[in-house]
Amino acid sequence: MESVWGTRNRGVLKNNVFHVTFQPVFQGGDPIEMRIPETAEKIHLFGSEFDLPEKMERGFFRTFLLKEILPPWYHFFSRSESLRAFCMFLAASGPDGRTVFRGKVVYRGESGKDQWNSEFHFRCLVTPDGRIFDDTRGSADADPAHPWKLSDTFQNLPDGPVLRVSERLKYYKGLVRTNVQLPFLSLPPYRPQLLTEIQLNRSTMERYLHHAKNEASGKNFALWKSPDELRQFIGKLEKLKTGMSPEEAISILGPPDGSIVDAPRSPHSENSSRKFLRFAFLRHQENRMDAGDLEITLYFPRDEKSGKYVLSSIH
């Protein structure tokens, strides 16, 4: 038996989509080089369609084998099963030190001759302090007052940025959880600042409060504060420092509209006890959170050494 030494490729432009196919060859070959037509806007690779980079963007396409299950040689009727990821990343750096990357990830599962795909699109902003935020505008979980949310899918770790994979295999029902390294994305080191998320969403929150009052002239809110009050409150937030206690934060901000202690679900839980201070600016109903409410939350995890709650982040 011989190993595959190279590939033979073919590209065809159909409308604005560049279709690329690969065929293995059993002889020596050079690295693949293929010129993409200037009129192409998308590329079709491995059965899926991806955007091509625009001006000032860099494009990176990667494939990852996430899981492969091969039955024992004596199981003649068992199916092999695999899970792969096909990823296109389009990145651009801005003059303000921020990086924007977008693209699509396609997960493809195969079991015997059966094949299925699941995919998701993403657009993320990386701030100068190394934090990655999802642009939720237009998505199902979009918040009109907080369009930028800290990403759970992408993380900037000390070893570099990663894609967090959590996908289920179809027949074996196995759950694949892993971090895929993305070394081609050059991001600033992770040094989070307390008000990064608030500053990203500040103008949106102010507009939201302004429109809510104007569009609901005949409606009585349980609580409504003006954009000026929001700006004054953010000015107070700037006096906070990481590691402060809830009591120190309250002495600067004033009493919160709610306080919650989230204890671990079990003694063996990975999450330690946490405390939240909630400051409300728009509430539709008294003592109840509804979609469309606007709050700023301070997060205090419990320090294992001192046993005290310390300020970690603000959302």
> Quick check: 228 and 213 in contact, CB under 8 A?
no
The confidence score (pLDDT) of residue 221 equals: 82
The confidence score (pLDDT) of residue 28 equals: 52
The confidence score (pLDDT) of residue 26 equals: 55
Q: How far apart are the first and last CA of the chain?
A: 59
Secondary structure (3-state) at 246: helix
The 10 Å Cβ neighbour count of residue 114 is 11
Distance CA 102, CA 134 (A): 10
> Quick check: 156 and 164 in contact, CB under 8 A?
no
User: Strand 223-224 relative to strand 258-262: parallel, antiparallel, unpaired?
Assistant: unpaired
The confidence score (pLDDT) of residue 1 equals: 41
Distance CA 199, CA 235 (A): 11
Handedness of CA 53, 200, 158, 105 (dihedral sign): negative
Place of tokens 């599962």: 109
User: Strand 175-181 relative to strand 160-168: parallel, antiparallel, unpaired?
Assistant: antiparallel
The confidence score (pLDDT) of residue 214 equals: 73
Distance CA 189, CA 169 (A): 34
Which pTM was predicted?
0.83
Three-state secondary structure of 193-242: CCCHHHHHHHHHHHHHHHHHHHHCCCCCCCEECCHHHHHHHHHHHCCCCC
The confidence score (pLDDT) of residue 236 equals: 96
For residue 249, the surrounding DSSP H or E stretch is helix 246-253
User: Strand 132-135 relative to strand 148-150: parallel, antiparallel, unpaired?
Assistant: antiparallel
Low-confidence ranges of the chain (pLDDT < 50): 1-2, 218, 268-270
Distance CA 82, CA 68 (A): 4
